[in-house]
Amino acid sequence: MLQKTAITLILIFTGFYSFSQVDYLLINNDYQQELEKKALETKFFHTNVKPYNRQNIKGRICIDNMVVEALEPIKEKFFPKNKDKIKIKPIAGIGAGYDVKQKDLPFHGYAGVKLHSDYIKDVSIHADIYANYYKSPSYLTSQIDSTGIVPHNGLVLSSQNGQYAYLNANGYLSYMPAKYINFELGRGKHFFGDGERSLLLSDNSNVSPYAKADVEVWKIKYVYLLAQQKDYDLRFPDKKFSTKYTATHYLSMNITKWLNFNMFETVISSPIDSMGANRGFDVNYLNPVIFFRPVDLSQGSPDNVLVGMGGSLKLFRHTQFYGQGVLDEFILSHFKARNGSWVNKYGLQVGVKSYKTFFIKDLYSQFEINFVRPFTYSHSQPISSYGSYGQPLAHPLGANFKEGIAIVNYTYNDFTAQIKMSYSIYGENADTINYGHNIHRSYLDRTFGDEGYFLTKGITTKLAYAELKMWYPIVDDLFFAEAGVAYRKQSSAIVNEENMMFFIGIKSPISN
């Protein structure tokens, strides 16, 4: 079966042969917004698969005669005329703030290099390496000290008095034998969806080693992604981290020029079984075209399988409605009974974004709602939860929450001002009581039996965040200046913390 599949794929691939290279844009919501605006005006670009490949952008956007003229102002930014086969650029930044409420002075400095090579035909090599020195805001210090992890970034190399040194190192080796076919080995992040958040796979956690194959033909884009994760393994107190694997299928279909539908499935597999024996990696998951759930059931596998779907609808060539749903487990009879059964584990997202709000040019707005039921993404064995380095692989709040997000920005002559606000309510766990918020805690550890787990039940925690930020490019796309003010308040029966921070900086663009 595997041989037949491989032969079929080879025949398909060779039919589309042409010389190509790979160069990805950053997964950075501010940086890629200008490109997404142009992509929305085209027919069949897949805005829900990130990071974006410049080669696919050229194929999908630049050939669309309706937007070639509109694309001219950003061609130099996204497709520079420099034809060098080896490119080296600096990465550097310094930013500092003052927290009025906590009388604190957080800062972040980083320096390194970006390397990209297209020297070998059809092969691209890319690396971003930069060292960081970081003094965290007060609300993060205890978390970093207890975990040894800087959220979203990596392991702490050294620390002193709330100041941390760590390294960001990511890159890839890509082979693109055809215009819309790519094979890749790397270390990095991926994001599926059109929202500010993703309930399927986001860039929330640390970078991880991966192998990826993606095919884009006609109106279809298909991604197979195999990644190695590390996470806390609560079964073995003497072992801080254990290795696990995620194998993911993602299919995006532009059914019409205004309608997209996508499907997602992933399996989280630990090579160590519940008895501590090393069972290795299940080779069945290496097949890029199977459905994981039937294999999981037929093998009696202890692995964790998630499925999901999403879609988007474009209106007026500048407005996009989008949504996602993730399903962990579900029993219809319990859903109808409305008894708060723990086994109904799912999440939903709905949102809308417009790049011409109220038909005003360059006025961008986005509004999004997310909620995820208790125990979603968790598993009977904590190592098989949908997380990495103690952080969720999907939404940063994990599970048992509801959230609203609003973003508005306006650009004038490269100067951008943005207001971002979010408000969430979640049911926090207590020390000995599991309400299903922490995805790294076993769902077998249920305090109240099988029922009564309603959304946000637990230690009700409210988290509000508001930010006004302005930025301006000062050296092409290498450096930009930013300044702003942010307000954060977290309140519950056990926590009441408030921060108001003014900040300023000069930086190279880096990932979110």
Per-residue pLDDT tens over the stretch 105-153:
999 999 999 999 988 888 999 999 999 999 999 889 888 988 889 999 9
Q: What is the pLDDT of residue 10?
A: 34
Which helix H or strand E contains 3, and what residues bound it? helix 2-14
Question: Which residues lie closer than 8 Å to 208 by C-beta, 6 or more apart?
Answer: 187, 188, 189, 227, 228, 229, 230, 388
- Average pLDDT estimate for 216-242: 83
Half-sphere exposure of 89 (CA within 13 A, CB side): 18
**Token digits of residue 150:** 């800087």
For the cut 80, the answer to whether the pLDDT of residue 470 exceeds it is yes
Q: What is the β-pairing status of strands 479-491 and 496-507?
A: antiparallel
Q: Which of 265, 297, 293, 296 is nearest to 282 (CA)?
A: 296
Q: How many CB atoms lie within 10 A of CB 496?
A: 9
Kindly give the residue spans of alpha helices, DSSP state H, lying in 15-60.
Answer: 33-40, 54-57
Contact criterion met (CB below 8 Å) for 178 and 18: yes
What pLDDT does residue 422 have? 98
Q: Which two tokens stand for residue 413?
A: 């002559």
- Closest by CA position to 20, among listed 172, 149, 124, 127: 124
- Whole-number CA gyration radius for the chain: 23
pLDDT: is 144 or 29 the higher one? 144
Q: Taking the CB of residue 432, how many other CB atoms lie within 10 A of it? A: 7
Residue 427, pLDDT above cutoff 90: yes
- Position 67 scores a pLDDT of 39
Q: How far apart are CA 334 and CA 311, in angstroms?
A: 27
Burial (CB count <10 Å: 0-12, 13-18, 19+), residue 109: middle
Report DSSP state, residue 25.
P
CA atoms of 450 and 334, how far apart (whole Å)? 10
d(CA 131, CA 111): 6
Convert the pLDDT of each residue in 236-281 to its tens digit: 666 578 889 999 999 999 999 899 999 999 999 877 665 555 666 6
pLDDT digits (tens, 9 = 90+) for 312-355: 999 988 899 999 999 998 888 777 878 888 999 999 999 999 99
Burial class for 150, CB neighbours closer than 10 Å (0-12, 13-18, 19+): buried
Give the pLDDT of residue 12.
33
pLDDT of residue 52: 85
**What structural domains does the chain harbor?**
2-507 (2.40.160.130)
Within its chain, how far is the Cα of 433 from the centroid? Answer: 29
Residue type, 141: T
**Arithmetic mean of pLDDT over the chain:** 84
Give the mean model confidence (pLDDT) for residues 405-424: 95
- Residue pair 132/167 in contact (Cβ under 8 Å)? The answer is yes
**pLDDT interval class at 58 (50, 70, 90):** low
Q: Which pLDDT tens digit goes with each residue over 401-413?
A: 999 999 999 999 8
- Asked if pLDDT for residue 71 goes beyond 60, the answer is no
Place of tokens 């142009």: 38
Local confidence band at 485 (pLDDT 50, 70, 90 cut-offs): very high
Q: Report whether pLDDT(450) > 50.
A: yes
pLDDT at 394 over 50: yes
Q: What percent of the chain has pLDDT over 90?
A: 53
DSSP secondary structure letter of residue 52: P
H helix and E strand count, the chain:
7, 25
Which pLDDT score is estimated for 101? 87
What pLDDT score was predicted for residue 292? 60
Higher-confidence residue of 316 and 170: namely 170
294 vs 218: which has the higher pLDDT: 218
pLDDT of amino acid 36: 79
Show Cβ contacts of residue 197 under 8 Å, excluding neighbours closer than 6 positions.
Answer: 349, 368, 370, 394, 395, 396, 403, 405
Cβ count near 146 (within 10 Å)? 9
Residue 19 confidence (pLDDT): 44
- Which residue, 492, 472, 491, is CA-closest to 482? 472
pLDDT value of position 68:
40
CB 463 within 8 A of CB 424: yes
Question: Could you tell me the two tokens for 120?
Answer: 């070998």
What are 383's two structure tokens? 């190592």
> What's phi and psi for 450, nearest 5 deg?
-100, -15
Q: How far apart are CA 61 and CA 67, in angstroms?
A: 7
Confidence of residue 20 (pLDDT cuts 50, 70, 90): low
Confidence of residue 452 (pLDDT cuts 50, 70, 90): confident
**Whole-number Å distance between alpha carbons of 509 and 128:** 12
Average pLDDT over residues 426-435: 88
pLDDT band at 28 (very low <50, low <70, confident <90, very high): confident
